């Protein structure tokens, strides 16, 4: 059974650019969540999608956005990149996102903003 796949694994951007990250969940999983991991703040929740609808959102500025497609694949976008956006962006999927479901994480996309 394939795990959660994130692409690209590494990328470098400059300030002011935008970036799109992709996540393919485990087959059959309909909930996809995104987290940002930095040395200072740890893992912080960005948003969750279920059946193409954003179900929950963390405390991040509007520059961070996402979407989910009908096949449950998800993308997140960060516009007008800032140096502080350098981080490991992790995607996690679960069957339904209900309280009993556990999250399975991908390996992450490491973004460096210069």
Partner 1 sequence: QKEVEQDPGPLSVPEGAIVSLNCTYSNSAFQYFMWYRQYSRKGPELLMYTYSSGNKEDGRFTAQVDKSSKYISLFIRDSQPSDSATYLCAMKTSGSRLTFGEGTQLTVNP
> Which part of the chain contacts partner 1 (CB under 8 A), choosing from 12-20, 64-72, 76-84, 86-94?
86-94
**Which listed residue (68, 108, 111, 113) binds partner 1 by CB under 8 A?**
108
Backbone angles phi, psi at 62, to 5 degrees: -65, -10
HSE of 109, CA atoms in CB hemisphere, 13 A:
26
According to CB under 8 A, which residues from 43 to 82 bind partner 1? 43-45, 48, 55-56, 58
Q: Would you say 35 or 64 has its CB closer to partner 1? A: 35
- Assess 106 for contact with partner 1 (CB under 8 A): yes
CA atoms of 9 and 5, how far apart (whole Å): 9
Distances from the Cα of 35 to the Cαs of 19, 41, 61, 79, 83, in angstroms? 15, 11, 14, 17, 17
Residues of this chain that bind partner 1 (CB under 8 A): 4, 31, 33, 35, 42-45, 48, 55-56, 58, 90, 92, 94, 97-108
């Amino acid at each position: 059974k394939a795990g959660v796949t994130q692409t690209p694994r590494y990328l470098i951007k400059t300030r002011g650019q935008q970036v799109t990250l992709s996540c393919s969940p485990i087959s059959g999983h309909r909930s996809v969540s995104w987290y940002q991991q930095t040395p200072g703040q740890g893992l912080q929740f960005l948003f969750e999608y279920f059946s193409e609808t954003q179900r929950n959102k963390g405390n991040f500025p509007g520059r961070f956005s996402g979407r989910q497609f009908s096949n449950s694949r998800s993308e997140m976008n960060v516009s007008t990149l800032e140096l502080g956006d350098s981080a490991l962006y992790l995607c996690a999927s679960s069957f339904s996102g209900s309280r009993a479901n556990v999250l399975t994480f991908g390996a992450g996309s490491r973004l460096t903003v210069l």
